[in-house]
Amino acid sequence: MKPFVFIFLIAFFISCEKDCNLPVQIIGIGEIIGNARVSQPLITWEMRNKEHIIRTDQENVYDLKVSFDEGKTYDSIDFNKYTLLGKYADGSCNVTFDRNVLKISSENKYLFRIKIYQCGTCKRHWESMNWVLVPKIQVGYSVEFLVE
């Protein structure tokens, strides 16, 4: 029985720590404000099941804050200048989330694409609300969310 347990533990750690060459996770590209870090409250069931477009203080029911100094201080979001977008995504073992917000002026919309890179076979579970700050989205523009 001991050899079986030993082999299982070795296989578990090898699969979990496997060098996957995942891309480096960054806050995001495209329209995303690259130096803005959004606070990360506990993810609730309600958060998971919505696509979030937060344009006003009243819509900011999770009281999310933003930091422009790499997370040293967090302040209220100025919704006169910015819109906050969020979409839940998850993955297993080793995970990075690639976020991109593209403005498509010809269609009066934004496309928020989240690509999940993952590898390994361990039991770790990662989840993210993928909160990103973008310049104020104009009235009349919609947001399409896509998770790959």
Is residue 100 domain-resident? yes
Task: Tell me if 123 is assigned to some domain.
Answer: yes
Question: Cα separation of 48 and 87, whole Å?
Answer: 7
Residue 105 covered by a domain:
yes
11 within a domain of the structure (yes/no): no
Of 21-35, 69-83, 118-132, least confident by mean pLDDT is: 21-35
What percent of the chain is predicted at pLDDT more than 90?
Answer: 55
**What is the reported pLDDT for 5?**
39
Return the closest-CA partner of residue 88 out of 141, 38, 145, 35. Answer: 145
Q: pTM higher than 0.85, yes or no?
A: no
Average pLDDT, integer, range 117-144: 89
Average pLDDT of span 46-56: 93
The pLDDT of residue 27: 67
Q: Say which range, 22-36, 43-57, 58-72, 76-90, has the weakest mean pLDDT.
A: 22-36
| Residue 17: inside a domain | no
How high is the pLDDT of residue 132?
95
Range of the domain at 141: 22-147
Number of domains observed in the structure of the chain: 1
The more confident residue out of 29 and 69 is 69
Residue 125 bridge partners (DSSP): 92
Mean per-residue pLDDT, 41-45: 88
Residue 64 lies in a domain: yes
- So what's the pLDDT on residue 24? 64
Residue 45 reports pLDDT greater than 80: yes
**Hey, what's the torsion of the CAs at 86, 26, 73, 42, to 10 degrees?**
40
Cβ 67 vs Cβ 75: under 8 Å = yes
Task: Let me know if residue 32 belongs to a domain.
Answer: yes
Specify whether the backbone of 74 is left (phi greater than 0), alpha (psi in -120 to 50) or beta.
beta
